[in-house]
């Protein structure tokens, strides 16, 4: 099969107007914090059991079309010795892999960050592909302050995202491009919109320079919101500002925009996605790629106890279904009580 055919098939399997992506690619440090919150030690076995629990949730594939896995998970089996990528694929959930290697300060700036991991990426992707991965994800982060992101921060991060995406497509892996504008701070929604537009313009200029086929990638951006130290905006405000900025900066050729939750609570992230889909008929699919906003209720229900597994799965399935409804613009707050 040709590389282009592989990419087209993956996009067709992931972009169907009704399903989103489960982000289960927490780093070892992040998942340790999540487990600490419920009094569970983060070990290789506890992580395997928990992620196996998520992926084996019956009917999850009705609402989730893809799952982003951490490298460790890609090589782990369920209790029946079935590799977890195959567990996902059995539900028509496309397995994917987080490929960046974390972030650090960007030299030459005060406050901007840069992500590592391009060295040897093509070779790593070939190995991940053999294990079942069909798409990848790379995250760049943008702190917001009166001086950040700087011009260098904007261009350097866009360059990394574009180089990563080009490598992915060259080996038949669909790239998820994730430029996350952080919610940390007290900036206004207007400032957040300004920064997101700057980020997206730079990212798509870089993608064009590197010859990335926009029809064969997925964008995973932040929603436009005030900083978390400000009063929250209404879902209608978030939708209005987000869509206005997207229309100004994101080409219509992109097939799907799968928003990250970025610190929003589960109900907040769902309500905002619903408002986005109610406000305007967009050229893109407007979907979700949530981690904590999908998993938090499941994690609280699980509490590290095997007998609570079914309750955890039902909590995950409920959130996935509600976000599916939000993609259709049919979510209502009353559904949270059902």
pTM above 0.95, yes or no: yes
Helix (H, G, I), strand (E, B) or coil at 162: helix
Q: How far is CA 130 from CA 126, 154, 171, 221, 229, in A?
A: 6, 34, 12, 28, 44
Q: Say what the pLDDT of residue 337 is.
A: 82
pLDDT value, residue 277: 97
The one-digit pLDDT tens for each residue of the chain (338 residues) are 799 999 999 999 999 999 999 999 999 899 999 999 999 999 999 999 999 999 999 999 999 999 999 999 999 999 999 999 999 999 999 999 999 999 999 999 999 999 999 999 999 999 999 999 999 999 999 999 999 999 999 999 999 999 999 999 999 999 999 999 999 999 999 999 999 999 999 999 999 999 999 999 999 999 999 999 998 999 999 999 999 999 999 999 999 999 999 889 999 999 999 999 998 778 999 999 999 999 999 999 999 999 999 999 999 999 999 999 999 999 998 888 87
d(CA 261, CA 180): 10
- 178 annotated active-site: yes
Measure the CA–CA gap between 250 and 197, rounded to whole angstroms. Answer: 9
Is 220 among the residues known to form the active site?
yes
- What domains does the chain contain, in order, with CATH numbers? 3-14+98-288+300-337 (3.20.20.70)
C-alpha separations of 224 from 20, 22, 23, 44, 237 in Å: 19, 21, 20, 36, 9
Cα angle, residue 19 at apex, residues 17 and 20 outer, rounded to 5°:
115
Per-residue confidence (pLDDT) for residue 60, from 0 to 100: 98
Q: Which of 26, 140, 178, 240 is catalytic?
A: 178
Catalytic residue among 98, 137, 220, 318, which? Answer: 220
pLDDT at 333: 85
């Amino acid at each position: 099969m040709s590389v282009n055919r592989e990419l087209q098939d993956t996009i067709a399997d992931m972009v169907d107007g009704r399903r989103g992506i489960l982000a289960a690619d927490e780093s070892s440090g992040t998942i340790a914090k999540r487990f600490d919150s419920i009094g569970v030690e983060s070990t290789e076995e506890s992580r395997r059991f928990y992620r196996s629990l998520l992926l084996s949730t019956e009917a999850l594939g009705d609402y989730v079309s893809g799952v982003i896995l951490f490298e460790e998970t890609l090589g782990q089996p369920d209790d029946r010795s079935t590799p977890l990528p195959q567990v996902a694929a059995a539900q028509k959930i496309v397995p994917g892999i987080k490929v960046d290697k974390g972030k650090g300060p960007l030299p030459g700036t005060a406050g901007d960050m840069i992500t590592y991991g391009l060295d040897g990426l093509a070779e790593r992707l070939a190995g991940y592909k053999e294990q079942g991965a069909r798409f990848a994800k790379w995250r760049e982060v943008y702190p917001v302050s009166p001086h950040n992101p700087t011009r260098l921060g904007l261009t350097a991060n866009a360059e990394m995202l574009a180089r990563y995406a080009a490598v992915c497509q060259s080996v038949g892996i669909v790239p998820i491009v994730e430029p996350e504008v952080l919610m940390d701070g007290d900036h206004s929604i207007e400032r957040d919109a300004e920064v997101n537009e700057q980020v997206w313009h730079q990212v798509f200029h870089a993608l064009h320079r590197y010859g990335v086929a926009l029809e064969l990638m997925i964008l995973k951006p932040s929603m436009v919101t005030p900083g978390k130290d400000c009063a929250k905006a209404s879902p209608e405000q978030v939708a209005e500002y987000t869509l206005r900025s997207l229309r100004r900066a994101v080409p219509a050729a992109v097939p799907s925009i799968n928003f990250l939750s970025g610190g929003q609570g589960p109900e907040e992230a769902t309500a905002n996605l619903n408002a986005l889909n109610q406000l305007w008929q967009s050229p893109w699919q407007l979907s979700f790629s949530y981690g904590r906003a999908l998993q938090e209720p499941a994690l609280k229900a699980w509490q590290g106890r095997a007998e609570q597994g079914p309750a955890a799965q039902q909590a995950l399935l409920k959130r996935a279904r509600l976000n599916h409804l939000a993609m259709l613009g049919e979510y209502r707050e009353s559904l949270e009580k059902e």
